[in-house]
Amino acid sequence: EYAAARAGYQTALQARLNTTWRTYAATRLALLEAATDPNAAVAYLDATRTWQLFPAVPFSAALLPPAAEVTQQATQLRAILTANPADRLQLLGQLYTEQGRYDLALDTFAQIPPESPHIVSARAYMAYLQWRSNPEQENLNSLEALVLAYPNQPAAQTLLAVAQLGEAGLHATEPSTRTLALLPPDRPDTALAWALWYIQQRDYLQASLQYQEALRTARPSQVGRYALQAARFYLESSYEICTDGLPAAETAVRAMPNTADAWTVLAAVRYQCSEFAAAIEAAEQARTLAQQAGVQRADATFYLGAALAYMGDAAAARPLLIEAADLAPASIWRERAELLLADLDE
């Protein structure tokens, strides 16, 4: 798939696209090349400085990612590629991890030589990513061994705490507050680890405060990811969903405007807060983004149909609810859709 992505981005660079779109494509190409050919990656980024400016064509203007966001991503990647060569692979692996590109992250961390000062951190990330990529089959023994062998290594401690708290919903050993207290302060991943621990204790107030702390300490490039996790917490727990969950979901969309997950969560939160017209807009955007990626989303389709139903437009709601049920026949979306369809038929 990466070969196809490279070809697509290279084709995009030959077109008379708006500069923001071309910078976006160049940055994605640079990300794909960064671990194996950093010079080529830098060349892609350097080319953005000399491009002729073209306006956005009408049909694509609404889809343009925010120019500031694209520029920030390119600047961040350039800083990593031009950093001390001894640090470059570690920083790049962490960037891939933040973006959810686990296979690229694993390949990058594997290139770090044994004599590197980053080798323990790299091994910790690799152990975590191997578990994260296949939590049903992998265990945390390697990561636990690293924490025991290197008790002052913050990356290993943080990754183990997050893994144990089970973002994937697995039943792992619960870390003690003593373990969490050893994590470095003023870091979003530390706040996230505490938030997950408080959720297990059903202390949603403290969990909420920790999610807010994660957002406070996150770098600009991380805000969207942490905001989305926070919004999901408020949505799933129903705790302060409209007072805190709605702002978190809106922050996620602002930071990641081309991410269908963010728009779907925003649609769900708006729906739960009875903001049905706004929920329709968010659900439609989620469906559009998903369809552009060749995906049909039952959740976004359900929220679109449900919001239309509550707005009194049964004719428009019914086919969407049927579609949601058909897209996920063995899921909660089918159950919810069928309940609403039954109400419409009464």
Domain boundaries defined on the chain: 1-82, 90-164, 185-256, 259-265+273-346
**Options 1.10.3470, 3.30.230, 1.10.10, 1.25.40; CATH of 185-256:** 1.25.40
50-54, 124-128, 151-155, 274-278: range with highest mean pLDDT:
274-278
Query: Which pLDDT score is estimated for 80?
Result: 87
pLDDT for 64: 57
pTM value surpassing 0.85: no
Q: Inform me whether the pLDDT recorded for 210 exceeds 80.
A: yes
User: Does residue 171 register a pLDDT over 60?
Assistant: no
**What is the predicted pLDDT for the residue at 315?**
94
The residue among 104, 313, 100, 343 whose CA lies nearest residue 222 is 100
Its CATH class, for the domain covering 259-265+273-346, is: mainly alpha
| For residue 251, pLDDT beyond 70 | yes
Tell me the three-class secondary structure of the chain, residue by residue.
CHHHHHHHHHHHHHCCCCHHHHHHHHHHHHHHHCCCCHHHHHHHHHHCCCCCCCCCCHHHHCCCCCHHHHHHHHHHHHHHHCCCHHHHHHHHHHHHHHCCCHHHHHHHHHCCCCCCCCHHHHHHHHHHHHHHHCCCCCCCHHHHHHHHHCCCCHHHHHHHHHHHHCCCCCCCCCCCHHHHHCCCCCCHHHHHHHHHHHHHCCCHHHHHHHHHHHHHHCCCCCHHHHHHHHHHHHHHHCCCHHHHHHHHHHHHHHHCCCCHHHHHHHHHHHHHCCCHHHHHHHHHHHHHHHHHCCCCCHHHHHHHHHHHHHCCCHHHHHHHHHHHHHHCCCCHHHHHHHHHHHHHHC
Least confident of 23-37, 41-55, 105-119: 41-55
CA angle (18, 23, 29) in 5-degree steps: 130
Q: Determine the pLDDT at residue 169.
A: 42
**Per residue in 153-163, pLDDT tens?**
767 777 877 77
- Say yes or no: do domains 185-256 and 259-265+273-346 share a fold: yes
Q: What is the pLDDT of residues 289-312, one digit of tens each?
A: 988 878 888 899 999 999 999 999
Kindly state the average pLDDT of the residues 53-60. 51
